[in-house]
Chains A and B, each alone.
Chain A
Amino acid sequence: MTTLGTSGLVLNEKLLFEHSDPGRKGYSLPKLDVPEATLPAELCRDEIAGFPELSEVDVVRHFTRLSTWNYGVDSGFYPLGSCTMKYNPKVNEIAARLPGLADLHPATPPHLAQGILELMDNLQSSLAEVSGFARVTLQPAAGAHGELAGMLVIRAWHEARNSTRSKVLIPDTAHGTNPATATLAGYDVVPIASEGILTLEEVEAHMDDDVAALMVTNPNTLGLFETNIESICKLVHNRGGLVYCDGANLNALMGIARPGDMGIDVMHFNLHKTFSTPHGGGGPGAGPVGVTKELIPYLPGPGVERVGDEYRFEIDNADSIGRLLAFHGNVGIMVRAYSYIRSMGGAGLKHASEMAVLNANYIRARLEGVYDLPYKNRSLHEVIFSDKDLEGGCHTLDVAKRLIDYGYHPPTIYFPLVVKGAIMIEPTETESPDVLDEFCDAMIAIAGEARDNPDLLLNAPMRSKVRRLDETTAARKPRLKWEGNE
């Protein structure tokens, strides 16, 4: 069988500093057209020790070679659960680079920035329509940043009512950012155990007058819809609390159901997940936040608003929690998300969610019986398996590493923590059935290898540029920068 993954010539490449040669230049600046100036000597530095000196050719080869050691969505299937690694449309890249959008200074007076403000206002309304919320802020720079904004908004609402509630309920399946964010908002975290989805009873058992909020993810990190969400929200509201929703998994619901219609009060979006903006090797993303009408006054700001035919920044937001960034947010990412939404339209977004869910269920149908499936509820856009039935002394990690040899980026592993040896697969809608079939064939083959020839998994990966890395020494004796010639 010819696998997708194969070996090929890849070039080695040293560190920039190891290439450096005194006197080499990679830049050109015009000659200075005014008299030179100096600062007092005691304010001035010596040369920047260790900073590279390279030609443009050196630098271009360096980063070109580095890029060949990577794997992106454009390389192949990237089924990371909860990350929604869908295809990143190329026209969005052109859109973001348009003169007039890319080179606009954030302090440009609003009357000279009407075009970008209109785009931002339109994006706000589009996201509000998709999610069912009354207003959306675009300021937060990432999902976790949006979570922070959302939890501070919740706290501001409580403080305005002289409430001193100090606790936040968080299911044990939650993404780690949820409890970390609750702590940043000054709350104590109360974990709730869940067997799959949350039940009204479990929430009721923990919900009291000291609970400010419940943080949920819907669909949750097991890929299951929180079927009891409406009654749970009602319960929390009746006891004076609010409900925050981590919107990372919105790709399952567009045009199907809206979190704002479920009783949820605040939700963050991940533009770099649901709305196709690229993941960039670790960002930049964007984490807009949607809220109900009652919470609008507390939103971070100032936000964009339309008054008559004019777009401007809000003037009167005295109750706002303030700003979370120096400027207006990751506008370049907003342009890409806006382009995506305009390219898809409402029916297109719904089709995306339907195909995302179909793809996940197709993988589930093909791999069920080969890998252990801990939850029997209908999966939405992602499916979780475990390594319980894996033979040969192999574990989830070994399956992941062997998948690399087969030419795939591994799924999310060991998350959520409630499933031992979790393998979370989220295909997204941009993958065709033949890609899914090849992936499933690989997963089935690997399960067979675990039984018949486990060394193939235990020694994997063998085709990548580097083999398994010593993470223990990296943590025991951290080397976090180049230290010069040793």
Chain B
Amino acid sequence: MEFPEELKYTEEHEWVMVEEDLAVIGITDFAQDALGDVVFVELPEVGTSVEAGKAFGVVESVKAVSDVYAPLTGTIEEINDDLIDAPEIINTSPYEDGWMVKIRMAEAKDADELMDAEAYQALIAEES
């Protein structure tokens, strides 16, 4: 199981990569493993406002469905269209090609509140 050091994490198993005031979001290796083969991804439209802690999308596998929560408040700047035809990318490359949305953050410093890799790993260990 991978926990890239340079990323931030949430309790809902999303990862965040911060590039100034833009946050790239996806779900973690742990999440994709728990879900199984991803069959469908529902993403919001570009321009949609999202609020920290509220669901903005859905990831479906054959036997399960999971809401994806916005780790930060802001606006959807870009979505990963590739996931529409090839949702399995989330399984094979959850941290890179499997990115889901890019959010233009309302407050760049909100990202500082998120967990680092070590804290997230500890959370996983606790949950198991």
Contact = CB atoms under 8 A, between A and B. Distances in A.
A49 interface: no
Contact of A476 (B36, B63, B88): B88
A471 interface: yes
A471 B40 CA distance: 13
A7 interface: no
16 contacts: A414-B63, A471-B62, A472-B36, A472-B37, A472-B39, A472-B62, A472-B88, A475-B40, A475-B60, A475-B61, A475-B62, A476-B37, A476-B39, A476-B40, A476-B87, A476-B88
Contacts of A476: 37, 39-40, 87-88
Interface string A458-477: 00000000000001101110
A414 B64 CA distance: 12
Contacts of B88: 472, 476
B18 to A, nearest CB: 31
Interface residues of B, number: 10
Instruction: Point out which of B39, B61, B87 has the most chain A C-beta atoms below 10 A from its C-beta.
Output: B39
A475 B36 CA distance: 12
A381 to B, nearest CB: 26
Majority DSSP secondary structure for residues of B touching A: loop
Contacts of B60: 475
Contacts of B87: 476
Interface of B: 36-37, 39-40, 60-63, 87-88
A83 B114 CA distance: 46
A471 B60 CA distance: 13
Contacts of A471: 62
Interface string A392-424: 000000000000000000000010000000000
A476 B89 CA distance: 12
B32 to A, nearest CB: 13
Contacts of B62: 471-472, 474-475
A76 to B, nearest CB: 26
Contacts of A475: 39-40, 60-62
Contacts of A474: 62
B85 to A, nearest CB: 9
A476 B60 CA distance: 10
Interface in A414-460: 414
B9 to A, nearest CB: 24
A471 B61 CA distance: 10
Nearest to A478: B39
A171 B61 CA distance: 25
A414 B60 CA distance: 17
A475 B40 CA distance: 8
Given A472-B88, A475-B40, A476-B87, 7 more contacts: A414-B63, A474-B62, A475-B39, A475-B60, A475-B61, A476-B37, A476-B39
A215 B87 CA distance: 37
A472 B64 CA distance: 12
Nearest to B39: A475
Interface in A43-60: none
A53 B70 CA distance: 54
Contacts of A414: 63
B101 to A, nearest CB: 21
A472 B36 CA distance: 9
Nearest to A414: B63
A472 B63 CA distance: 9
A330 B59 CA distance: 38
A98 B48 CA distance: 61
A393 to B, nearest CB: 15
B86 to A, nearest CB: 9
Kindly list the 6 A-B residue pairs having the minimum CB-CB distance in the complex, ordered from nearest. A475-B39, A472-B37, A476-B39, A471-B62, A475-B62, A472-B62
Contacts of B36: 472
A475 B62 CA distance: 6
B41 to A, nearest CB: 11
Instruction: Point out which of B36, B62, B63, B88 has the most chain A C-beta atoms below 10 A from its C-beta.
Output: B62
